[in-house]
Structure 1
Amino acid sequence: MQHILATTDFSSNAYNALFYATQLLRNKACTFYILNTYEEHTPLTSKRIPTGKGDALLDQLSDESEEGLKITLHKIVLDNGNTNHMFKTISTKGDLVEAISKTVERNNVDLVVMGNKGTTAAKAIFMGSSAVETINTMKLCPLLMVPGEIDFEPVKKIAFVTDYKRSFNLKVISPLLFMASLFNASIRIFRVLESESLDETQKSNRDVLKQYLDPVDYKVEWMPNFSNKTKTINNFLKDSGIDMLTMINYEKGFLKKLVQGSLIKKVSFNLDIPFLIIPSED
């Protein structure tokens, strides 16, 4: 049984991420936890009690959260129609990122799913503050970021971006293997070329990774770093027809620099594919 946590603010992007997850895991028995959080400044409806009425306001926010979850639950059950899937709703007051961490621990969650704000014209992901904070703090399980307005297609090609500078173990690689197993996907190990050859540590890490990936179809690829890593990765994803991007979120790695830097305020990744972020053990 897989335990999946999907966050919602009742937007179309959040629902799309939830629905995508149900289709991705269509052949797995799963329990989906649908989480909504609220605080006194949560903009749920326009009919707002004056903020001076603290308890009354929180009661209203709680009612709105519960009602929104009921509507979401009804819709996903109808749209999904999978008897192998169970759905539970969680409404809680407080910070979203803290609520995610608590829910993951209490329910042994295997995967957190979040929707991203996206625009069809730009085919771009703009990560909101909650998404960035979740990426920075999530240590217990992988996080799947699903771009807005994406239609589900079976995942047949997964890109795993690495520089081989850190060691791998089965716990870190297991989420990648699991995703590949869902639709018998091939894995493209991709490295942005920063030097002409690998050092001994990188070679050793590469060989260990190959051993872990031996049960699946995989291919090792690289591209020269013509301009910057972001652009090089984007070009590879588009040229190779990749269905899902995967990275390990190391403490001082490329992904951490990306989400913490000013680049995130721009079109950081021109992604129209899901992004699986695996926590490291460093």
Structure 2
Amino acid sequence: MKNILIPTDFSENAWNATKYALELFKNEECVFHLLNTYTPAIASSRFMAATLDGGSIENGAHLQSKRGLQNWVERIGKTSKNSKHNFKTISSFSFLVDEIKETIEEIGIDLIVTGTKGASGMEEVFMGSNTVRIIKSVKDCPVSAIPQDFEFTTPKEIAFATDFNRFYTTSELQPLIEMAKTFDAVIRIVHVQYKIEALTELQQFNLNMLLKYLKEVEHYVHTVSELNSVSKTLEVFSEELDIHLLAMLNYQHSYMERMTREPVIKRVAFHTQVPLLVIPELGMSKITKKDDEVSATSI
């Protein structure tokens, strides 16, 4: 049984992510953990009235959070009646990322599903600030970011963006492979280059290893020239090939890290058009026995 964590602020953006998760896992037994965090502003200034009751403010915020989660579960019940799905609620007086980390450790979450939307004007980014904070901070659980206006489409075309500069482990690639097998999807490995040139020996080795890992699923390799920025290039690639899910590993100097650090002017025209699957770096210390066996038979 999968444990899926869905943070919610009760917005329509969060509701769209919830609907996506319900549809994505409609054929699997899941426990959906619905999380709402609240941090009420408790005045501490000596100039404020001494009669202000901080505890009452916190209690009021807690009740509002609990009611909101109950309404969320009721709304789900009116939309989806699936005997394979169970729901649990978490209302916490905490910061969102801190509570997510604690929940992952306590429960063993398999996937975080969150809604995302860009801001407006020159502040426009490819994902909302909360989503970026989750991706940057959560190191041991995949994160799926769902665009606010995206209507569920079975992920038959999955893009995996990588530069081949890092060795992959089966543990890291498992969410990607599992998704492809579940939906009988094609994986399109996309390599964005500033200038098209031959792969280095290290890149070629890592590509060969990646192809071995993906041998049980249909896959293709695409090399594309960078258009202004990595995010813009992947947006165009996703549109042209009708990609339903864009997956990336998140590690130092990865495409994902570059996208979250790109100057605003470079991503001003970019919106996340398809769901993102961000897979955290597990590191060599977490390589499984199966990884070792694959590596040994490949040398």
1:130-279 equivalences under 5 Å are 130-193=130-193, 194-263=195-264, 266-267=267-268, 269-279=270-280
Question: In the aligned structure 2, how far is the partner of 1:171 from the partner of 1:159?
Answer: 18
TM-score (norm 1): 0.90
Q: How far did residue 51 of structure 1 move?
A: 10
User: Could you give the per-residue CA deviations for residues 14-40 of structure 1, whole angstroms, max 9, x where no partner exists?
Assistant: 011011011011111111000000011
Question: In the aligned structure 2, how far is the partner of 1:117 from the partner of 1:142?
Answer: 19
Is 2:246–2:277's contact at 8 Å kept on the other side of the alignment? yes
Question: In the aligned structure 2, how far is the partner of 1:150 from the partner of 1:125?
Answer: 17
Paired amino acid for 1:98: D
Which position in structure 1 is the counterpart of 2:116? 116
Is 1:127–1:264's contact at 8 Å kept on the other side of the alignment? no
Is 1:118–1:148's contact at 8 Å kept on the other side of the alignment? no
2:89 is the alignment partner of 1:86: no
Paired amino acid for 1:11: S
Shift of the 117–227 alpha-carbon distance from structure 1 to 2, 3 Å rule, reads closer
User: Could you give the per-residue CA deviations for residues 208-254 of structure 1, whole angstroms, max 9, x where no partner exists?
Assistant: 10011111111111112354322222211110000010110112323
**Moved segments of 4+, more than 6 Å:** none
Q: Secondary structure at the match of 1:21?
A: helix
Question: In the aligned structure 1, how far is the partner of 2:271 from the partner of 2:61?
Answer: 35
User: Could you give the per-residue CA deviations for residues 194-215 of structure 1, whole angstroms, max 9, x where no partner exists?
Assistant: 4411111111100110011111
* Residue segments in structure 2 that go unaligned for 5+ positions in a row: 43-49, 284-299
Question: In the aligned structure 2, how far is the partner of 1:264 from the partner of 1:144?
Answer: 25
Question: In the aligned structure 2, how far is the partner of 1:259 from the partner of 1:185?
Answer: 27
Is 1:163–1:192's contact at 8 Å kept on the other side of the alignment? yes
Q: Secondary structure at the match of 1:273?
A: coil
User: Could you give the per-residue CA deviations for residues 87-144 of structure 1, whole angstroms, max 9, x where no partner exists?
Assistant: 100001010000001111111100001101259xxxx864232211111111111000
Pick which of 60-69 and 195-204 moved more: 195-204
Question: In the aligned structure 2, how far is the partner of 1:268 from the partner of 1:172?
Answer: 31
2:54 is the alignment partner of 1:26: no
Is 2:126–2:271's contact at 8 Å kept on the other side of the alignment? no
Is 1:145–1:275's contact at 8 Å kept on the other side of the alignment? yes
Paired amino acid for 1:163: D
User: Could you give the per-residue CA deviations for residues 147-173 of structure 1, whole angstroms, max 9, x where no partner exists?
Assistant: 102211111100000110000010110
Question: In the aligned structure 1, how far is the partner of 2:134 from the partner of 2:27?
Answer: 28
Q: How far did residue 264 of structure 1 move?
A: 8.7
Shift of the 147–226 alpha-carbon distance from structure 1 to 2, 3 Å rule, reads closer
Question: In the aligned structure 2, how far is the partner of 1:258 from the partner of 1:71?
Answer: 35
Shift of the 184–133 alpha-carbon distance from structure 1 to 2, 3 Å rule, reads same
Richer in strand (by share): 1
Paired amino acid for 1:68: G
Which protein is bigger by CA-based radius of gyration? 2
Paired amino acid for 2:232: K
Which position in structure 2 is the counterpart of 1:56? 56
1:36-51 equivalences under 5 Å are 36-41=36-41
Q: How far did residue 63 of structure 1 move?
A: 0.3
Which position in structure 2 is the counterpart of 1:45? none
When the two chains are superposed, the root-mean-square deviation of aligned CA atoms in Å is 2.1
2:106 is the alignment partner of 1:77: no
Question: In the aligned structure 2, how far is the partner of 1:14 from the partner of 1:51?
Answer: 37
Question: In the aligned structure 2, how far is the partner of 1:12 from the partner of 1:264?
Answer: 28
Q: Secondary structure at the match of 2:117?
A: strand
Pick which of 87-96 and 269-278 moved more: 269-278
Paired amino acid for 2:157: K
Alignment length, in residue pairs?
Answer: 271
Shift of the 170–226 alpha-carbon distance from structure 1 to 2, 3 Å rule, reads same
Paired amino acid for 2:155: V
Question: In the aligned structure 2, how far is the partner of 1:59 from the partner of 1:70?
Answer: 17
Which position in structure 2 is the counterpart of 1:47? none
Shift of the 227–220 alpha-carbon distance from structure 1 to 2, 3 Å rule, reads same
Shift of the 161–126 alpha-carbon distance from structure 1 to 2, 3 Å rule, reads closer
